[in-house]
Amino acid sequence: MTKLCVFDFDSTLMDGETINEISAACGQKAAVSAITERAMAGELDFFEALTARVELLVGIPYPQVLSICHQLPLMPGAMETVRTLKQLGYKVVVFSGGFRQATAYFGEKLGVDAEFANILHHKDGFLTGKVGGEMMFNDSKGKMLQRLQQLLGISPEQTIAVGDGANDASMFPFAAKKVAFCAREILQKQANVVIQEKDLRLLLDYL
């Protein structure tokens, strides 16, 4: 029987937040990081927080964005964990409220089966401050997980969901293993597996 493991990207597969790193390029890291933290803690609507942060990125050269996205630090154990899951028969998928500019690159590097994220809009070589995509809302990940399970014929009993922030909670009703990885308290309260150490290989102990 096919099994499924869905990972969040920022602060789960990647050690940090992509948007925070990009924002440093225009001197807005403090402002963006503050909004990110409130959104991940569930204090702000995810869509409103996302659009407000992306607006602060307007004017950054797009090649610079790609360079930043391709140099992000992976979480310790990410490569080994994905490889082991695939050897055990899992489909491994990334759901990110961040950006395909990062997830597409690292999805290929990690060897995941698919990745779903948002896209930073750019025009004439610069970010426009606009964003679109399939992971824009608080409940986007849960809805996408249901669609993926239906498409692949995978039940919640054969599903693992791994994340760190409030927007990952919508996946948990559809996964037997609900993993809070170095997560905010709001997600830990809804998890049945809590990992506090930055080492994704610890997930393998719960399979």
pLDDT at 147: 97
DSSP 65: H
Cα gap 158→77, rounded to integer Å:
22
Give the relative orientation of helices 62-69 and 100-110 as an angle to the nearest 10 degrees: 40
Catalytic residue selected from 8, 124, 164, 205: 8
pLDDT at 1: 75
pLDDT at 89: 96
User: Does the structural domain 3-206 have CATH classification 3.40.50.1000?
Assistant: yes
pLDDT at 156: 98
Rounded to two decimals, the pTM is 0.95
Cα gap 109→158, rounded to integer Å:
25
205 included as an active-site residue: no
DSSP 173: G
What tokens appear for 109 in the block?
């590097």
pLDDT at 160: 98
pLDDT at 2: 86
pLDDT at 54: 97
Catalytic residue selected from 10, 45, 124, 168: 10
8 included as an active-site residue: yes
Average pLDDT per consecutive 10 residues, the chain (207 residues; last block may be shorter): 94 96 95 94 95 97 98 98 97 98 98 98 98 97 98 97 97 98 96 98 96
